[in-house]
Structures are given as C-alpha cells and as structure tokens.
Amino acid sequence: MVSGKFYLLGAKWDATATYYYKGSFHPNTMPLGHTVGGFILNNASAPAASLIGNPSPTAYQQEITISTNRVMRMDDSVDGSLTSTNSMDLVMYLDGYSDVSLKFRHRESGDEAHAGDGIFLSDDNVTFVKVYDLDPASTAWQTVTLDIDALASANGLALNNSFIIRFQQEDNYGWPTDGREFDDIKVYSKPDLEATSLESGGYTSINKLWKGFSSPKNISLELDVATRSGVNNLSLASLDFNYELKDSGGTTRWTEPSSQPWNVDAMTVQTNALYPFVSISAATKLSDLNYTLHATVDSQNDLVEAWENNNEITMDVRINHYSGSLWFDNIETEVTLTGWSTRVANSPTQHWITGTGTLDGQAFSFNSLKGNKNLTTLDYHLDASDATIINVLSPDREQISGVSFWRDGGIDLSKNGAYANIKVLFPAGLGVSTSSREVLEPTYTFNSRELSPVLAPIGILSDSGTFQVIEESKPMGYTATQLTWVSGSGTFSFAGSGVWSVRDDLYNALENSAGQLVDPAMAEKKSNAAYYRSVSQLLSDPLVETGANGEAQLSTQVALDQIQLTAHFPYGVQQAWGTGSTLVISRDLIDGSSSWLAGLYGSNVDVSYARDCFPVLECSGSNGVATLQCLVVSDSFVGTDGGLRTSINLGYGKVFWGTRWDNQPAHSAIDFSDGFLYIPGHFIRGDLSAFDATDQRGPAEILLSGLAVNPVDPKERPSKTNYASGLADYAGLNLRVDSDAVDGDSIIGGTLTGQWPLTGRSKYYLRPSGVSGIHEAVFNSFPSSLTIYDYNFGFSNYGLSFLSGNPKDSRINGDVTVPYPSNITMDFEELELDCLGELGNTELANSNTKTLEYWDADIQPLTLFFAPKASSTCGNAARVLCMGLTTQCANVDQVLSGVLGFLSSGDLGAPADQIEGVASRLVAPNQIELAGPGNEIYYFNPVANPYYNDYSMTTNTSGAPGWINFAGNLDVAFFSDLQVQFHTSASTNSAIANIYMMGGWPNGTNTFFTSNPDEFDLENAGFPYASVFDYYEYRNP
C-alpha cells in the first residue's frame, strides 16, 4: 500500500460492461442489475444514475458475486457459426492502492482453447494485456486468485482510476457444447492497517520547553489510524500502540505502550482519530535537542506482518529540557525560561535564554543571556563571554556565625558570581568610627565583596585605614589601622597602634572643677573601675568574638601605669598600685591567673565599718564607725568581673558590732592577724548573669558576688544556691577564723555568754554598712546553760549569720524551761536574735503535746516566740515566752486556740501583764452546746474569750486543779437568755466534770456583759478575788 491511502477498494461493475447474448451478434451495454442469460446479477439493484459512468470507490458493493445458480455465462448464440468473443470489463479506481487481488470461480463446457480466452488488464482502455489463460479446461468449478499488483507491475501497467479487468471467452457454439461460466467474482485488498497522520495541536513538528524533574512532561497527540478489513469482519482483541521518543542518535530515551480492542466491518476502509496523552516520567532527563517521536500500530500476529509495512509514523520534536537552575559562577538561582534559541545551530548546550528567576526569595528577570547547559544536570551556567550584570533586591537582614549583615544596595549577579556591599552590624557593645572617638557607629560596610552560594560573606573581610574602636564592657578605646571580620567564626580583629582610657577626659574635667563645686570632695569620682584610667600600652591586638546572644566579647592584653582609686563599693575605700600592672582579658572576662595590679607593699588601706544597729532600735547605743588600718602585703589579683583582692595584715584585729543602750557591743570577734580586702568588679557577662539587662537586680549581682579564693573567680553570686555558704570573699575587708584560733562573744537577752572559740568556717566581711558573715561557736564550747529573762535555757548549738550588722539566719538550738504551775520544757531551734541580741521568734524542735500541770490541760504547741512587755526598759528588757497552741476542755466539744504568755514564774500571763500582742486568752467558739438532764441541750453563746485562771490569784488550799473560764448568754426555755459565767475543768481526761455556773460579778459598774469583755477581769482570776476569800466561795455563796 502507498502511504496515505487506506481506503478499501470500491470495486463495482462499470456501466460499459458488455456481453453477447444468445440470438444477437452485437454486444450490448449491460447496466449493473440487468439480466445476463435470463438471471439477475447478484440480486443487486441498479446504482443511482449519478454514479453511472463516475463510480465512487466507496459507493457500492466491494465485491461482485454471481451465485452458484446464477452465473455469468459466456458462449455463442449460433452453434457452429463464426467464432464469437464475449467480454465483460470491470473498471476499477485503483489510484494509490496496493495489495489488490482478483478472486473468482470458473468452469467451462467443452470450450476449446483460444487465444481470446482469459483475463486481460488495461490501464488506458486501449491496450489490453492477457495475464491469465483460462485453459486448461475443466468442467469442474475452479477457484482462481490473481495478484493484480504483481501482474500490473510485470506488464508495465499503472494502478490508476481507469484500470480495467476484462473477463473474456472465445468459441463458436452455445452451452453446453461450448462456453464458460464465472461466479463469485471478487476484487479486494487484503486486510491491513496504517498510521496515516501524527500531529500535536495541529502541528506535525513541535517545540517543547520543559523545566525540572518534579512533574511529568506531557504531550497531547492526534494519531489517525486507517484500517481496511478485507472480505471478512476484522475483530482484534488487542491492537497495540507504542510511542517512543528517540534522540538525534537514534537512542530511545522514553517509551510508552498502550493497547485497545479494534473492530472493523468487512470490506470497509475505516479511519480512526486517536488522541493519546503521553506522559514522560518526571525523572527522565532529556539532554538532546532534536528528537523524533515515533507512533507505531501493531496487531501482533492478528494480521500478516508482511502486509503491515506502513504502521509507523514519526513527528519531529525539538526539546529544551532544563533543570530550573541557572548558575552565576557558584551562585545557584531558580529560573523559569520564557524564551530560548540556539546560539550555535542545533546545539543542545549553547543557547540564548530569556526568563525570570528568584534568588533567596527575591525576583529578577533576564533577557538573552548566554547560557551553557550542562547535559548531565541540565543546569544552565552563564557563559564566560557574557557581560550581563543583574541587580537583585537584597533579602532581609541575615546572620552568619551570630553576626547580622545586609547586602547594601542589592546583589549583583554576573558570570563571576554574586557581589554586594556587605554592611555588618557589630556584636552588641562594639562600636567603630573612622574619625571620632566620641561618636561611634554600630555598623561598617565592606564594599563589593563576593558572596558564598548561600549569599553570605566569604572568608575574611578586611579594610585598612584609621579606626577608633570601643567595646563597652571595658572603659578602654583602641586605635587600629586594620579592621578584619572573619565571617565564618563571627570574630572581629583590629590591628592596633594604641589604647586609651575612654573616661579619662571626663575624670580630668571633673577633678579640675573642684573649686567650682559646693563640696570640692564631689570632684572625686568614686569607681571600682577607675584603674582603667592608667592603661598605657596595648600588648595584644583586640579581638572581638560574638557571644551566644549576639553580644561582643573582647579579648586583649594591656599594661597599666601607677594609679589610685576610691571605690564606690565598699564606699570610700582608697587603694593605690604601682607600675608594671597587666590585664589579660579573654572573651570579656579578666584572666585572673595572668592579671594583676602591682601592689604598693607596706602602704596602708583604711577600711571603715558601722558598729551600730541600722535601722536604729529603741535601745540602740552609738559607738559610731570603726576604722581598721590594713597593711598591703601582696599584689592585687583581678577577678573575672574586674574585682580586686589584696592580702593585708592587721596585727591584732578586733571586730565589735550591735551597740547596745550601754554602748556595749552585742557581739564581738577578736584576735584577727590578716585578711583580704576585696573591691568588687564592675562587669558581668550576660550569659553568666541570672538577670537580663533590664532587671534592677543586675548591679547587686555584680557588687554582692563573692570572689572564690582559688581560682580567682566570683563563684558565689546572690542568684546561686551556694551563696548562702558564705565561703568566698565579699566586698570589704574579709576576716577568716580558719583554725578555730579566734574567740567570739555575744550578749543574749542582756546575758553575757563569755568568750568561746569560733569555728573555722566563721568569717566576717566589713564595710560601711556594718559587719556581715558567720558568727559560730565551736561545738560544745558555748555555755550549755544560761539564765535569760529569768528563764532557764539550755543550748546545744550556737551560730548566727549577719548581714550589715543584723542577724539573718540562726543555728541556735536548745530548750527553755517554765516552772510550776506550768512545768513544761520547750525544745527550740533556729532561735532568732535582733541586732542587740534580744530574743525573737524560734522554731519548735518537735510537735510533742505538753500538759500544763496545775490546770491538767493538754496543749498542742504550734509556734514559739519571745515578746516584750509594755513596761520593758532598756535596762530591764525582759521578754516573755509566748506560745501559739490549740487545746480542749471538759463539756465543750470544740477545739480552742490562742496565744498564751508563760511568765518566768511558771504562771500564765494575763492582760494585766501587758505582754505586747498577747492577752493570754483563747478564741471563743460562736456557740457551745451544753448537755442538760436526759438528752436536753442548752446553747451557750460566749460574749468573751475563754481563759485559764491565774494560779497566783488563788489560795489553792484544797490542792484542786485550775479551770477554764467562760462568760456568755445561756438559752433557756420559756425565759429570756440568762447571763452566766461558768467554770469547767481544763482537762478532757475526766469522764464527769462539773460545770460551776454563776452570774458573774461587777467591778464598779462593769461586768462581763456591760463592758468590753476582754477588758474585764484583766488578771484572769476568774472570780471576784477582792470580795471573796477564794474561788470556791464564789461558786458556793
């Protein structure tokens, strides 16, 4: 078959077919459907008149069949006459057809062989060529099949639209003496199929621009397939289609098969338009430029392969598959091409490219760049000859190694990579100026510097010039000739030529103005950091590193000249140093192992401390401020936060504090021979502080920190748990006991304890606010018993900590005994003292129940403290032991609570004793249920708080126990409430306890019921002792 022709033959009888009929010597035109020898040809109807003479290849039947009992017979109508020649012409329209066959059945009846017997072909209706001889004769039906294609070709004939197949017979007798018959005449093409057209979007060649590897690469196609079925219905279970993409070298880069059933009616030419959507996998790399798309139709073995010589069709596809990456040297950008062309004809690599892109989220566009595509990665790289520079907006501020920077003015992309003006933000606290020492900038710009693939500065950035540099944690400035930023580590170095004191000009200006001040002494600036005024030489170039929180951390080494400072804490301490001092700073911290201030050996430093109580107490005395003269015996070691520690000698040092009314000290420690003077630092690095920069406790954390003895580091800070240990050196003069060789003394509640040895951990630090530290007796050295406030005390331990002269924590443990009628001993711990040594609150060492002997009352102690009387004087400041407690009594179900004072005599206090805040009465319930006869209940509503009777107010001749006293209103039936007072046992151990009910008594015009009840019976007597001999007379008048 010829490519492009897929129609089956539209074979038909031509209107000019002729035959000789019996009885006639002349040929007659035989229109299709007319009778031949009295029979109708194939039962076929005559074609439409418009088709006669111009038959269509598809308009009528595609085969001519004369059935067995209806045949086309050729013979002579006159026996023995002249020889007659019969012929029938089939005019065929065969232009473009192939595989054309003629098939018919034939028999003869005594017909001799003649040259005119046979099948003849003609392509011009002029010259006919005999291609088949009907002899040898056979009276039996024979089937003949002729290959028209081959016969025409062998005889130089063209298959055209005037092609004639002639059936011809020659003889001189009629049937059955002579004659030939023809039946089942068929002209057909063999079954075949062909891909006739392949397009995409109406184009037979296409261009594709594909990006990346994340999505399939799709092509929408239209494939036309023509099928001719032949003489039978064509039904294929699976017609296979294959789409194959081949590069310019013929290598298959991608293939996609499919299949579907295929059905065509017999003797039909059928054209089907298919619309396949082929999808090349996302991961497939198409690195060539020119491809061929092959579409193949295959019936496998359902049709003879030799007949399928036109079942493949191709389409040219020009493909630019690129990754989406465009490289400017080592800078990768993401781009989308909107146009491209080859710079060299058919080059898969050298292109002009136009499109848009992004760099770190910032958009840019480009036009006609010289791009070279890497056929392995499909990335584009800018050609070395491309001179384009693309400016891209800079992303927001970014960081590298903790340092923030900008790309000032955007980023320039070119064949050389990415360049920008790098504006760096120095770590917090670092400032640089190229001119002024007073006004420094937090930023600096390095012009036109190369960027890394992540658009960060590369390596080391350095500029030369004159730079003034200050890192604010230290009051020093540096003059540098070179500024270097190592971007990978976040460090800045300054090749230095000098160092100066940032505040020296200010100090000088203040000192020079002394004569103009109201108080010339104000011209002296007190500062713990004043030794930086003497900085004289830069021993190592400053290096600034970036801390974890973006802060500047300075490392350098400087030398200092002779200097003197007056500290602001401890206030007013003056100290001087000689030449040869060195400070080594590492990441903002002073290296205590390598830093020192050269001490002026033999010089004196005076340290003053307050001996009096502050705030001033009622019985405070006044000895004023004491000053200890300290002899310098060492260099000053420098702590990490800049604090200074110097060894001193005292000779024989005595410390007194807590001045009492008689100017005697409440506490003392004597016989110190040496110590350490510590002037606290002035700086704490942020990551070492418990507080942020806005917290007002920050300065206190620096000034109150304790400097460890070894190494030289402030290990104890107020925010740390070890601060309470008190083992470090603190601001002021630090005196340690160490070997238990120093004695201590205290006055407790006006009682002298005598001297006792101090423990080795006892230590004191002195400054203008007073004495702080640990004041602790060696175990078992403190007096085991003392009489204080006329109470008998036992002591198992004695120790106090002080802060600025005031006791803070107590380790005073022991017991106190109250004699009969109470007869109790209370164990206590952590007994508190005030600045003058007077007793205050204490903790109960246990919660054991106690019994007040005379009252036979069980009490549950809750709190214990000592309270003064209103009548106390400085010379007689006796305090009363007081106890918060709960208890119960007979006939009352409720628990009673209150605070009782226990006098040193053993009796209970009363309002008349004027113990501050303690009336020694219990809290009354709102209502008490009293049991009456049978099951009767009486409701008693107290009007006064209950109290134990005062032992000293009774003669107690009978030895009866004490009682508890109630006053209130008793609800009785049929009558108004009765105003009653009753006594009942304070013990709950008695199964039957009496209630003694009375009407109360008057005191002048006052009674329980007419005055403030808690101001009645101020002695807590419980009966009218002035008018009766004893309580039992009151109960039984």
Q: Which residue has the tokens 């030449």?
A: 579
Report the chain (1037 residues): mean pLDDT per 10 consecutive residues: 23 33 31 28 33 31 37 75 77 72 86 88 93 82 90 93 86 84 74 83 92 94 83 80 92 91 78 90 93 88 54 92 96 96 94 96 95 96 96 89 94 96 96 92 96 92 96 94 95 92 92 92 93 94 94 96 93 93 95 91 93 91 93 91 93 90 94 92 88 84 84 75 84 87 91 94 94 94 96 97 95 98 97 96 96 96 96 85 96 95 96 95 93 88 94 79 94 87 90 86 83 85 88 86
> How far is residue 969's CA from residue 973's CA, in Å, rounded to a whole number?
13
**Could you give the strand order of the β-sheet that contains 163-171, starting from the edge strand earlier in sequence?**
84-92, 163-171, 118-122, 129-132
Give the containing element (helix H, strand E) for 512: helix 504-512
CB within 8 Å of 1021: residues ≥ 6 apart = 949, 950, 953, 954
Looking at CATH, the fold of the domain delimited by 18-189 is given as Jelly Rolls (2.60.120)
Tokens of 488: 């990978």
SS3 of 623-671: CCEEEEEEEEEEEEEECCCCCEEEEEEEEEEEEEEEEECCCCEEEEEEE
The answer to whether the CB of 896 falls within 8 A of the CB of 923 is yes
The answer to whether the CB of 774 falls within 8 A of the CB of 655 is no
> How far is residue 123's CA from residue 144's CA, in Å, rounded to a whole number?
22
Q: Assign 66 to helix, strand or coil.
A: coil
pLDDT of residue 613: 93
Please provide the DSSP assignment of 132-189 as one string. Answer: E--PSP-SS-EEEEEEHHHHHHHTT----TTEEEEEEEEESS-TTTS-EEEEEEEEEE
Residue 57: DSSP 8-state = T
> How far is residue 751's CA from residue 837's CA, in Å, rounded to a whole number?
9
Q: Which of 759, 734, 732 is nearest to 744 (CA)?
A: 759
CB within 8 Å of 696: residues ≥ 6 apart = none
Tokens of 985: 């046992």
pLDDT of residue 51: 29
State how far the alpha carbon of 138 is from the alpha carbons of 108, 134, 170, in Å: 6, 9, 16
> How far is residue 313's CA from residue 935's CA, in Å, rounded to a whole number?
120
Please provide the DSSP assignment of 900-933 as one string. Answer: EEE-TTSSBP-GGG-BTTB---EEPPS-EEEE-S
CB within 8 Å of 527: residues ≥ 6 apart = 565, 566, 567, 568, 682
Q: Assign 855 to helix, strand or coil.
A: coil
Q: Which residue has the tokens 């000779």?
A: 651
Q: Is the peptide bond before 821 cis (omega within 30 degrees of 0)?
A: yes
| Residue 195 dihedral angles phi and psi, to the nearest 5° | -80, 115
The answer to whether the CB of 762 falls within 8 A of the CB of 726 is no
CB within 8 Å of 810: residues ≥ 6 apart = 799, 800, 801, 830, 831, 832, 833
Q: Which of 208, 182, 206, 233 is nearest to 41 (CA)?
A: 182
pLDDT of residue 54: 34
> How far is residue 646's CA from residue 707's CA, in Å, rounded to a whole number?
12
CB within 8 Å of 1012: residues ≥ 6 apart = none
> How far is residue 584's CA from residue 640's CA, in Å, rounded to a whole number?
10
Q: Which of 86, 104, 183 is nearest to 148 (CA)?
A: 104
| Residue 912 dihedral angles phi and psi, to the nearest 5° | -65, -20
Please provide the DSSP assignment of 19-34 as one string. Answer: E--TT--S-EE--TTS
pLDDT of residue 380: 97
pLDDT tens sequence across 773-787: 999 999 999 999 999
Sign of the Cα torsion 823, 826, 832, 837 reads positive
Q: How many CB atoms neighbour CB 786 within 10 A? A: 18
> How far is residue 355's CA from residue 336's CA, in Å, rounded to a whole number?
6
Residue 63 burial (CB < 10 Å; 0-12/13-18/19+)? middle
pLDDT tens sequence across 838-847: 999 999 999 9
pTM for this model (two decimals): 0.65
Q: Which residue has the tokens 């790098």?
A: 422
Ramachandran quadrant class, 783 (left: phi over 0; alpha: psi -120 to 50; beta: rest): beta
Give the start-to-end residue ranges of the domains of the chain. 18-189, 192-322, 323-385, 394-565, 601-838, 847-1037
Q: Beta-strand (E) ranges in 961-1031?
A: 963-971, 978-985, 995-998
> How far is residue 760's CA from residue 757's CA, in Å, rounded to a whole number?
9
pLDDT of residue 274: 92
> How far is residue 938's CA from residue 972's CA, in Å, rounded to a whole number?
7
Q: Which of 78, 100, 102, 68 is nearest to 88 (CA)?
A: 102
Please provide the DSSP assignment of 68-84 as one string. Answer: TTS-EEE--SSTTSS-E
pLDDT of residue 957: 57
Give ∠ CA 340-345-348 in degrees, rounded to 5.
60
- The alpha helices in 779-893, defined as continuous H runs, are none
> How far is residue 308's CA from residue 330's CA, in Å, rounded to a whole number?
55
Q: What is the CATH number of domain 192-322?
A: 2.60.40.10
Q: Assign 722 to helix, strand or coil.
A: helix
Count the alpha carbons within 13 Å of 458 in the hemisphere toward its beta carbon: 14
pLDDT of residue 230: 64
Residue 259 burial (CB < 10 Å; 0-12/13-18/19+)? middle
pLDDT of residue 305: 46
| Residue 159 dihedral angles phi and psi, to the nearest 5° | -80, 100
Q: Is the peptide bond before 136 cis (omega within 30 degrees of 0)?
A: yes
CA dihedral in degrees (630, 632, 634, 637; nearest 10)?
70
Distance of CA 140 to the CA centre of its chain: 99
Residue 783: DSSP 8-state = -
CB within 8 Å of 399: residues ≥ 6 apart = 405
Q: Assign 868 to helix, strand or coil.
A: strand
CB within 8 Å of 117: residues ≥ 6 apart = 111, 133, 134, 135, 168, 169, 170, 171, 180
Residue 508: DSSP 8-state = H
> How far is residue 569's CA from residue 802's CA, in Å, rounded to a whole number?
18
Bridge partner residues of 735 (DSSP): 764
The answer to whether the CB of 559 falls within 8 A of the CB of 536 is yes
pLDDT of residue 78: 75
Instruction: Kindly report the length of the chain.
Output: 1037
SS3 of 249-271: CCCEEEEEEEEEEEEECCCCEEE
pLDDT of residue 271: 85
Q: How many CB atoms neighbour CB 980 within 10 A? A: 20
